[in-house]
Amino acid sequence: MTNNTWHSTGLDEILLSLNSKQEEGLSLTEVRKRQSIYSNSLEDDKRLSPLIIFINQFTDTMVLVLLGATVISGLIGAMADAITIMAIVVINATLGFIQEYRAERSLEEIKKLASPHAIVLREGRRVKLPASELVPGDIVFLETGDKVPADLRLLESFSLEIDEAILTGESFPVKKNALITIPDRTPLAERINMAFMGTVITRGRARAVIVTTGMNTEVGQIAKMMKETERPLTPLQVRLDQLGKILIVICLVVCTLVSLLGIYRGENIMVMLMAGISLAVAAIPEGLPAIVTVVLALGVQKMARRNAIIRKLPAVETLGCTTVICSDKTGTLTQNQMTVGRLATIDTTMGITGNGYEPRGSFQQEANEINPLSAINIRLIMEVALNCNNAILEKRKDSYQIQGDPTEASLLVMAQKAGMTRLYKRQREIPFDSARKKMSIVVEADGEYLVFCKGALEVLIPSCKQIIKQDQTQPLREEHKEYFYFLQEQWAGEALRILGFAAKKIKPADINLPDDALESGLTLLGICGMSDPPRRGVEKSVAACLNAGITPIMITGDHPVTALAIAKKIGISEGNEVLTGSDLEQLTDQDLYRKSLTTRVFARVAPEHKNRIVEVLKKNKEVVAMTGDGVNDAPALKSADIGIAMGMSGTEVSREASSMTLADDDFSTIVAAIYEGRAIYDNIRKFIRYLLGCNIGEVLVMFLASLLGMPLPLIPIQILWVNLVTDGLPAMALGLEPPEPGIMNRKPRPSSEGIFARRLGWMVLSRGFYISMVTLLVFIIAILYARLNGIDPLPLSRSMAFTTLVAAQLFYVFECRSEKYTAFELGFFRNKFLLIAVFCSICMHLMVLYLPCMQGIFYSVGLNYWQWALILILTGWKFISKLILYLWKRVFAFKWDYAKIKA
């Protein structure tokens, strides 16, 4: 069978040809066999091979120039120099390679985490699997908000509508029908019994069989779809990129000046050329973008371990700027563990006992167990609860698991507790969505056609004309409505979620009436109240948000009183202010913003209201994180600064529109992600502070020495060595610094803040200047000392300047660990990577100073005690004084910050 005949072939024949069964799906052995033949992936494997990444390290222009110059100097005769320079360049490239390779792999892992999933039938069981594992013949279940995972032939469909714009360009969703077989030559846009990969279910649900996968699908054949989009840079990466370009120009100008001044003074041309180039290689912070990527990528992996899956890298930065979190209630702030605990009809109210989803419990009135099914209206409620329902309750080992909507699962449990198990044949379904807030089905029961409807009470009551009271149908009067509304307010005040039930009989000919007509003239049966306790730890997370200057706002489709009761329980709201969707419609944007400054609860809102709230908050300079799960939430998720989708209960469409997914749907995970986001940004600032401070120091030493007409304080090979020893590992290790205390005690970072804000620019410049000054000072002192003692001045003074530069940078790296605390207050041994990096750097430098073979290459000499003392005092006085102060405070432990930090 070809791609062009699936729609024109009968269902039985298709299932036969694919060797699959509608109720069973494929066997696991069959799946394995097919997976070795078929792939369901659209993307080319564009992974950069490790070799290419390594070779790319040598394509940097400055490195190429350096290598060229090295070869020339090697040819001229300085062979040992040439080999050492080559070795340093290779070690540097290896470090660069490790960083980039890790970044690549981490980004790939992130991509995998965010890949789409689908619900499939395998050996008779529904399982959720990555879409990439599907094969032809798999039976899949589709729901509103799903992305179609392959090309499918529909087996059954209920009110199914699919947005096929990506294939056909048609902006209106197409109504689908599984039961039709259509002619061979029907164009793609009219194949209404098919669903195509990448299209989106906007309404309804279906069961379907996969007919083609991966590149063989319709979308796979459109070549342009397969072009992988460029990996976007984060705003910080873009800014750093621009900064990098400016720094390159400055470095090149200064390095050229250094070379020219040296040549003008009569120094060896080749040496000056090499010095200029080496300085440029050392000073240009070429490692910056790679370290930023690694730090971002590692941070993203850490977030994933805490259940926050980043889909778009820029979100990591934006997280630190978030000022408002707009969160759904059900499932995010609450557990989404629904249990129906109350039931009421116009005649009676009762309690329902039992725990969780186990269908064991009783119906009680004034502590007496009763048989609920003796009244007609309650029997009908149970039939609606059981049939107007798409959830599945399964017993696995000793516990009950659910699939589908927890609200509906709790209704199944209630019906089963009442002993109701009879399922009718479903003829039609008008699905639930959070804008309609109700769901209806038509069933055939013993030759009669019945409409069953359940939904929010305010939505249901206007569609009802009758009520069943004492087993008699009578007109629905105001007093009946008021009674139910009164009960709703009362139950909602106890944080219960309320759902109403209604039904009516129709003629067979009315099955296909328009939705509105089918859902009118109903008979009201009663209401139930279900509990959904707040998530564990959410109260703490709300408090953490408030402490961090972030306003949590609850936006829910639920009843205002229920929403407010939960909001108060978890500390989101202290007052009684609630805005409903209909209130919102009356307000201008300005009034809405004013209200949003004090309102913490928005209830009975539809998805489009969410979008409006985001827009208004954003217009007023708030940085908004917004959660959402439904297909209609996609616009709000897209327009929020950070759209947050639900990994467990959310739709595929909402996940795609978002920049972050919560694997556990938990509000606390958002707060954890903000914490990590702030820490990552801090770390990026830390190594920028370090790298730039060091590089400015190196350039200034050489530049000032040239201006003052002094000999070169460092020869090319030493410059490259300093760069290797100080820039590589220690800078990287700074990026891995654990979050410092008090991260969530400060206000969000303004989103417009530049990299050098909060005195970072000053810190970098002043430290660069200081490093250069002490290096020059030591250089001059060493020359004077050598002259006075009749020693050859250059090897000693250069070794001392060289050591000063290294020592100053290694002390500085500890200072860069925090802008607020000293390294000792933070816990000196807390960043193990940094200690290892510094230890390695020290060993490498000592080798260069003291190993005779290295002395020959680096023109270095060993230093004596006082020379070391001079260097360590000049470069490390700040570090040493802080250590003394720290020890003093520890020993004479009075009140001080340390205790607070540790707490």
Active site residues per annotation: 328
The backbone region for 521, taken as left when phi is positive above 0, alpha when psi lies in -120 to 50, beta otherwise, is: left
Cβ 163 to ligand ATP shortest distance, Å = 21
User: Would you state the torsion angle of the CA atoms of residues 611, 613, 617, 619, taken in this order, to the nearest 10 degrees?
Assistant: 60
- Applying the rule CB under 6 A, the residues between 469 and 498 that interact with ligand ATP are 497
Q: Which residues are bridge partners to 555 per DSSP? A: 602
Rounded to whole angstroms, how far apart are CA atoms 796 and 867? 10
Q: Does 329 bind ligand ATP (CB under 6 A)?
A: yes
One of 167, 499, 699, 838 touching ligand ATP (CB under 6 A)? 499
CA pair distance 541, 82, nearest whole angstrom? 59
* CA gap 776, 459 in Å, rounded: 80
* One-letter identity of residue 789: N
| 132 vs 144, beta carbon nearer ligand ATP | 144
Q: What percent of the residues of the chain are helix, what percent strand, and what percent coil, each to the nearest 5?
A: 50, 20, 30
The amino acid at 259:
S
- The residue nearest ligand ATP at its CB is 557
Strands (E), 730-872: none
Q: Does 558 bind ligand ATP (CB under 6 A)?
A: yes
Count the residues of the shown chain that bind ligand ATP, applying the rule CB under 6 A: 21
Q: How many residues would you count in the chain? A: 903
Sequence-separated contacts (24+) of 357-360 with Cβ below 8 Å: 357/393, 357/400, 357/401, 357/402, 357/409, 357/410, 357/413, 358/399, 358/400, 358/413, 359/393, 359/400, 359/412, 359/413, 359/416, 359/417, 360/417
Residues 636-665, one symbol each (x = binds ligand ATP by CB under 6 A, - = not), give: ------------------------------
Question: What is the nearest approach in angstroms of ligand ATP to the Cβ of residue 556?
Answer: 3
> Can you tell me whether residue 44 is helix, strand or coil?
coil
Widest pairwise Cα distance in the chain: 119
Q: Smaller CB distance to ligand ATP: residue 331 or 768?
A: 331
- In whole angstroms, the minimum distance from the beta carbon of 160 to ligand ATP comes to 18
What separation in angstroms does the CA of 829 have from each of 298, 582, 725, 835, 896? 21, 57, 20, 7, 20
Element at 524 (helix H, strand E):
strand 522-531
- Give whichever of 307 and 336 is closer to ligand ATP, judged by the CB atom: 336
Closest CA to 702 of 260, 78, 87: 260
Instruction: Give yes or no for residue 330 binding ligand ATP (CB under 6 A).
Output: yes
Among 556, 573, 822, 841, binds ligand ATP (CB under 6 A): 556
579 contacts ligand ATP (rule: CB under 6 A) = no
Residue 352 binds to ligand ATP (criterion: CB under 6 A): no
Distance CA 97, CA 91 (A): 10
Which CB sits closer to ligand ATP, 311 or 437? 437
Chain residues 833-872 in contact with ligand ATP, contact rule CB under 6 A: none
Q: Which residue lies nearer to ligand ATP by CB, 437 or 817?
A: 437
Closest approach of ligand ATP to the CB of residue 526, in Å: 14
Residue numbers 391-450 binding ligand ATP by CB under 6 A: 405, 407-408, 432, 434, 437-439
Q: Does residue 463 contact residue 484 with C-beta atoms inside 8 Å?
A: no
In the complex, minimum distance from the CB of residue 333 to ligand ATP, in angstroms, rounded to a whole number: 8
CA distance 29 to 584: 55
Of residues 287 and 526, the one with the C-beta less far from ligand ATP: 526
Q: Please, what is the minimum distance in Å from the beta carbon of residue 558 to ligand ATP?
A: 3
Q: Give the integer Cα–Cα distance in Å for 262 and 134.
A: 68
Cβ proximity to ligand ATP, 420 vs 694, nearer residue: 420
Q: Are 534 and 569 in contact (CB under 8 A)?
A: yes
Instruction: Kindly state whether residue 454 participates in binding ligand ATP, applying the rule CB under 6 A.
Output: yes
Least Å from the CB of residue 603 to ligand ATP: 9
Name the one range near ligand ATP by CB under 6 A: 16-24, 327-335, 345-353, 820-828: 327-335
Task: Read off the tokens for 164.
Answer: 């096929």
Q: Shortest gap between Cβ of 565 and ligand ATP (angstroms)?
A: 13
> Of 556 and 803, which CB lies nearer to ligand ATP in the complex structure?
556
Q: Establish if 609 lies at the interface with ligand ATP (CB under 6 A).
A: no
The token pair at 478 is 């105001």
> Site mask, ligand ATP, residues 87-126, x = CB under 6 A?
----------------------------------------
Binding positions for ligand ATP, rule: CB under 6 A: 328-331, 405, 407-408, 432, 434, 437-439, 454-456, 497, 499, 556-559
